[in-house]
Amino acid sequence: MFLPTTKEELKKLNIDQLDIILVSADAYIDSPFIGVAVVGRMLEAQGYKVGIIGQPDIESDDIMRLGEPKLYWGVSGGSIDSMVSNYTATKKFRNSDDYTPGGKNNKRPDRATLVYTNLIRRHFKNTVPIVLGGIEASLRRVSHYDYWTNKLRKPVLFDAKADYLIYGMGEMAIKEFSAALRDGQNPQDVRGVCYISKEPKSDYLQLPSHQECVDNKEKYIDLFDAFYDNNDPISAKGLCQPVDTRFLIQNPPCDYLDEQEMDNVASLPYERELHPYHRSEGKVKCLETIKFSIQTHHGCWGECNFCAIGVHQGRTIRTRSEDSILKEAKEFTQYKDFKGIISDVGGPTANMYGYECTKKLKKGTCDEIRCVDYEGLCKAMKVDHSRHLNLLKNIRQVPGVKKAFVASGIRYDVITEDKKHGYEYLKELVNHHISGQMKVAPEHTSDRVLKLMGKPGKQSLIDFKRLYDRLNKEAGKNQYLTYYLIAAHPGCEEKDMHELKNFTRNELKMNPEQAQVFTPTPSTYSSVMYYTELDPVTRKKIYVEKDIKRKEKQKDIVIDKQFIQRNKRPSGGSGMQG
């Protein structure tokens, strides 16, 4: 049974008033891969009456269809940041949306969290608290660079006029916050919560003010450094940032779920379908991949500078048990439309399942040392693919499962670092868990650009490809590698794209068919570089391409088969900031 989204469902359930109403920029898809559905199911299991409004019509009173909640409204921009979902890196509007019925991008407003908060306040005067959550709000909780307006924006709570913000995955925060409101207590002390205060919190780390960041780009780097370093539940401090005459208060992060709690969330009664309310408008494309996929863990310690997963999900791996995952695989076989194919067994990075740095588990994430960067893997991180390897073998033995793919991200450099199990693990993938191709993400091959990206050096890619090709040859398979590549990342000039093109042609023996132009999304170091035009470590000036046509040209260099012939003399950047 779905959580209610219509008045008719409330009547059938004999509910006069819901405790909590969740509003999302996605259609209501009841899946463990959809954040709002997970929150709704968690709250339901704790005894709350919860409803969901997916993609409310902002031109009518649709937001009123479930009435007013007793405790609070929860507002999310959806599974993908609404601005990233609506616009390409070159600011062109996207016509399709995988989370909208029928696939047409006509239901997700720009800056959805702001729009939905205003919509609620328009129709419900003096309503119960409005709480922001999800990736869109989480990544905008302090002053942040906004690519689409090309300026620093205030923390989203000041723009949205909401009451609270729960950041990160926030499972424990949601539980404790809801209990506080239910019991008539002040939720301002709940870990994982942000709010606006008239007074500073003196025992919290004091951040540069919003105005200081606007006036001085190095102050903005200082702010982001402190923000980035205080995301771990074990080691993080609370943060306090002056904004005009008030203060943004960010409590320390809530605790992560342990293995049993992860299993409990995964076992909640998801329908794994689009709610019937939306079905007349068509199917949602995302269900093709997430319906029969298994999420094995949360978190990623890869720390790519252009990625916000570490800030939102955390840099510590939280793993589900093998028994829980195998139980889910067995449950798939009971669905009439299950064809024996599990689309993905993984997480943000599939081969981080089942191990972590013991030092990090005791003391929290390190501020000065990364788990992995251009120089390679930290010696304290003992990579061990054995649990994921055994898990994949066991999934293959589940009656009714024909194939279980590992389609989510794989760190190839981590495989080559595992001297005990890396070879066997990759052999397992090649023989049983790849659908004709394996996707890896070198992103670039210029040493200078790779360092700014926080990515490993290109030798690890060369070593991995040799091993991958050898294993395919031994298995008699003709499976190939496809590569995620980025153009116009801060520090990248046209000469770097020519270097990348030459590398793909000479070393990888292929011509890339696609590459993406870098998008400066909130709460990443790469976006800090893009805005400040400074290396945040050295504070030295770097080249940043900001002209859209020249960004496209960088991409064309690497994907166009004829580009090198037409432009035989490689050129560098113009030397001018766009």
Full DSSP string of 510-534: S--S--EE----TT-HHHHHHHH-B
DSSP 328-384: HHHHHTTSTT--SEE-EEE-SSGGGTT---HHHHHH---SS--SEETTEE-TT----
* Phi, psi (deg, nearest 5) at residue 341: -110, 120
DSSP code of residue 71: S
CA–CA separation, 254 vs 192, rounded Å?
A: 5
Identify the burial level of 273 via C-beta atoms within 10 angstroms of its C-beta, where 0-12 means exposed, 13-18 middle and 19 or more buried: middle
List the structure tokens of 92: 């062109």
Locate all alpha helices (DSSP H) within 236-338, ordered by sequence.
259-266, 276-279, 287-290, 309-312, 322-332
> How do 246-250 and 193-197 pair as beta strands?
antiparallel
**178 SS3 class:** helix
Separation between Cα atoms, residue 226 and residue 344, nearest integer Å: 35
**How many C-beta atoms surround the C-beta of residue 168 within 10 A?**
22
Distances (CA, A) of 60 to 63, 64, 123, 275: 8, 9, 10, 21
Task: Name every residue whose Cβ is closer than 8 Å to that of residue 448 and which is 6 or more positions away in sequence.
Answer: 491, 496
Cross-strand partners of 241: 248
Instruction: Assign 3-class secondary structure to 415-478.
Output: HHHCCCCHHHHHHHHHHHCCCCEEEEEEECCCHHHHHHHCCCCHHHHHHHHHHHHHHHHHHCCC
Which of 324, 217, 213 is closest to 262 using CA atoms?
Answer: 324
Of the candidates 4, 91, 86, the residue with the CA atom closest to the CA atom of residue 40: 4
The residue among 93, 124, 92, 119 whose CA lies nearest residue 24 is 119
Q: Which residues have CB under 8 Å from 576's CB, separation 6+?
A: none
Name the helix (H) or strand (E) containing 51. strand 50-54
Cα 465 → chain centroid: 27
> Taking a C-beta distance cutoff of 8 angstroms, is the pair 417, 459 a contact?
no
Each residue of 126-151: b (16+ CB within 10 Å) or e? eebbbbbbbbbbbbbbbbbbbbeeee
Residues annotated within a binding site for [4Fe-4S] cluster: 300, 304, 307
Annotated binding-site ranges: 300, 304, 307
CA angle, corner 545, sides to 543 and 548, nearest 5? 175
- Of 349, 312, 314, 318, the closest CA to residue 135 belongs to 312
> Could you give the 3-state DSSP secondary structure of residue 570?
coil
Q: Give the C-alpha separation, 407 to 552, whole Å.
A: 28
